[in-house]
Amino acid sequence: MKDKKVLNVYSEIGKLKTVLLHRPGKEVENLTPDLMDRLLFDDIPYLQIAREEHDAFAKILAKNGVEVLYLEDLAAESLEDSAVKDLFLEEFISEAKVQGDKKRFIVKELLMDFSDNRKMIDKMMEGIRKSEVKNYNATSLADMVESRYPFVVDPMPNLYFTRDPFSTIGSGISLNHMRTVTRRRETLFAKYIFKYHPKFKDIKIPMWYDRDEPTAIEGGDQLVLNEKTLAIGISERTDAESIEKLSKRIFAEGESFETILAFHIPNKRAFMHLDTVFTMVDYNKFTIHPEIEGPLTVYAIKKGNSNYIRIEKETEELDKALAKYLHLDKVTLIRCGGGDIVDAGREQWNDGSNTLAISPGEVVVYSRNHVTNRLLEENGVKLHVMPSSELSRGRGGPRCMSMPLYREDL
Ligand SMILES: NC(=[NH2+])NCCC[C@H](N)C(=O)O
């Protein structure tokens, strides 16, 4: 019998079978008002409630037949080999900008002291306060100058947004180069999981992008519209050059993809990724934030001869362009907040457009976005509603908090 593929994502809406999540950890409680801006949060979530909300999310998925895997488990399970674990620690400590041999040694010793790899991974994600390190004292001028800075290793509070560090596209992955330093370290977990985890290490997995590339691309900008068509945002987080590079690699590999639609959206924190303003909910239905419809420009990138690509600026209205590329008679755009400037602004800010489809016409949404939710239902979309008072303080919704590994083909 043909081996079941481990990675298979050829749409945004195919029945979801396996998904990767990260349950918010103590890294969320290492956020402080001074750090929020640099660590990309707009407030400090209450961890206990954030975990309850995230567990409700995982329960919805599991009850609907989805295998839920956790990043922290896969990362720990990838480090059984001591040489691999050592390599990972060295790379992690370097990218955490731990300066000086003495400090590097102290941090590595602290992490190696964990008898259990899972506890070590939790600590790496949580961050390390100077107050937790025995005999920590300022040895360098930089240390003395920054003596009030509380961390020797920064926390990684954005890890529960598993959508962004890597993307499953077809049977391969885009191991992303993240725009910000604070999120770049997150992609190390995926690097080691796909290289060393028993589930993946013996499988040839096409790598559409690499974290060491010089230009940025993030998973919130990467949508698989169908087996022939991707949509990728040119955004606050993703560079046009990255999309060209990824296009050439995917076209060269002989996957089924023929067209990549580059959506040039406003460069704005609230619209940081394409999926904060546009997601696919059914064969011919999408959510969209009305504020981007005016400024939006779409470029169609197509496979050319050998390694060339052809790029055309789309002139059709978005709904007609989508109908053309997806070979549909009609496309329905469901406007966030019903298009009302106040309701749309409020609900987009709390991820009213950021839905996660678990099968065609069936999506997970945040309860707080009641105007958009009602419109989705009026358009025949089945909702699974989850709480989000605390999770949404990180500026992400159900699609942001999930990375599909396997969807059934349509
Ligand atoms: N796919 C998404 N929309 N991800 C949202 C990520 C939110 C995170 N605080 C950041 O700024 O990166």
Give me ligand 1 centre to Cα 278, in Å: 14
Question: Which of 27, 28, 158, 393 best tests ligand 1's pocket when mutated (most atoms within 8 Å of CB)?
Answer: 158
Number of helices (H) and strands (E) in the chain: give both, helices first: 13, 19
What does the block give as tokens for 107? 């941090």
CA of 348 to the centre of ligand 1 (A): 13
Please report whether residue 269 resides in a domain. Answer: yes
pLDDT at 4: 64
Please indicate, yes or no, if residue 187 is contained in any of the structural domains. yes
pTM of the model: 0.97
Domain count, the chain: 1
Atom number in ligand 1 closest to CA 180: 12
Residue 314 belongs to what domain range?
A: 158-407
Q: Which of the listed residues 224, 348, 395, 401 should we mutate to test ligand 1's pocket, taking the one with most ligand atoms within 8 A of CB?
A: 395
- Residue 135 belongs to some domain of the structure: no
Whole-number Å distance, alpha carbon 161 to ligand 1 midpoint, is 6
> Which of 181, 238, 272, 364 is the pocket-test mutation for ligand 1 (most atoms within 8 Å of CB)?
272
Specify the residue with its C-alpha closest to ligand 1, atom 6.
396
- Does 112 map to a domain? no
User: Read out DSSP for 131-166?
Assistant: GGSTT----SHHHHHTTT--EEE---GGGG-TTTTE
C-alpha of residue 343 to centroid of ligand 1, in Å: 21
The CATH number of whichever domain residue 351 belongs to comes to 3.75.10.10
Q: Would residue 321 count as lying in a domain?
A: yes
- Ligand 1 atom with minimal separation from the 394 CA: 9
Query: How many angstroms separate the CA atoms of 333 and 318, rounded?
Result: 9
Ligand 1 binding site (Cβ under 6 Å of any ligand atom): 40-41, 158, 161, 163-164, 183, 220, 272-273, 275-276, 354, 394-396, 400
What spacing in Å lies between the alpha carbon of 395 and ligand 1's midpoint? 6
Residue 173 forms part of a structural domain: yes
List the catalytic residues.
Answer: 400
The one-letter amino acid code at 72 reads E
Residue 258 maps to a domain? yes
- Rounded CA-CA distance 86/91 in Å is 9
Measured from the CA of 399, which atom of ligand 1 is nearest?
1
In this structure, is residue 11 part of a structural domain? no
Can you give the pLDDT of all 410 residues of the chain as single tens digits?
Answer: 345 689 999 999 999 999 999 999 999 999 999 999 999 999 999 999 999 999 999 999 999 999 999 999 999 999 999 999 999 999 999 999 998 898 999 999 999 999 899 999 999 999 999 999 887 777 777 777 787 899 999 999 999 999 999 999 999 999 999 999 999 999 999 999 999 999 999 999 999 999 999 999 999 999 999 999 999 999 999 999 999 999 999 999 879 999 999 999 999 999 999 999 999 999 999 999 999 999 999 999 998 877 789 999 999 999 999 999 999 999 999 999 998 999 999 999 999 999 999 999 999 999 999 999 999 999 999 999 999 999 999 999 999 999 999 999 99
Distance CA 144, CA 149 (A): 10
User: Could you give the strand order of the β-sheet that contains 332-335, starting from the edge strand earlier in sequence?
Assistant: 278-282, 285-288, 332-335
ipTM of the complex: 0.98
